Amino acid sequence: SRCAAMPAASSLRRLLSAPFAVTPRCAILFRRWVALLVLLEAASRWDALRWLYTDSGALPRRLVLPDPAEDPLAWAVCAHAWHGSLAWAQALTALQASAAVGLFFGARGAGVLAWWLHLSACLRVPPLIFILDRYLHLLLAFAVLLPTPPPSGGSSLASLLLAVQLVAIYQDAGGAKLRDPAAAWSLDAPVAALDTYLRHTPPARAAHALLGGAGLR
């Protein structure tokens, strides 16, 4: 009876882990899409570096960062706080883009670098950090921590946590839309939420023009 129970337990374990299994192809595609997100984010930030990441812009270090004596850890982790020049901000952004290219081709160490530089960029401008920045931070963490699965696919603690995180993201986003006091995500919204979001980049403006008012709602 003990021998008969072992295949049953093994089958049950495979059944429970199947929804969280990741194949090598899926892991590669996941890392590549995260790398492309980092590249797009770095490219969109490039023109604003002078105004948001230098001491001569709208958010100089002395106004948005804690005193180094009070919080030395923040200054140690935030590479963007080490210097206030435009050249330094551009160099870090270019390095982050290079790390994203490395992650695209499977270099886990490059993923760690891209993850750290994203965290650093967020710490440099705390008033401007929103939920999408946090999502990218989590996706980079999983891109780094997700182990290489066996050829036939397999689950891991990282793949389980990734699945839980994705469910939590959609649940949180959906709940926030339903509870929005302005009802900006409803069909009867005076001004649709997407009408505001889809105005900041050329692709967004193209989608805005294509969808029109009814499509945005």
How far apart are alpha carbons 44 and 47 in whole angstroms?
7
Q: What is the pLDDT of residues 107-154, one digit of tens each?
A: 989 999 999 999 999 999 988 888 888 889 989 998 888 877 666 666
Among candidate residues 70, 105, 103, the one with its CA nearest the CA of residue 118: 103
Q: What is the pLDDT of residues 56-71, one digit of tens each?
A: 999 999 999 988 888 9
How far apart are alpha carbons 139 and 168 in whole angstroms?
13
Q: What is the pLDDT of residues 15-44, one digit of tens each?
A: 555 666 777 888 889 999 999 999 999 998
How far apart are alpha carbons 29 and 24 in whole angstroms?
9
Among candidate residues 93, 100, 68, 94, the one with its CA nearest the CA of residue 81: 68
Q: Which two tokens stand for residue 46?
A: 């490039």
Q: Which two tokens stand for residue 178?
A: 């339903």
- The CA-CA-CA angle for residues 11, 15, 16, to 5°, reads 120
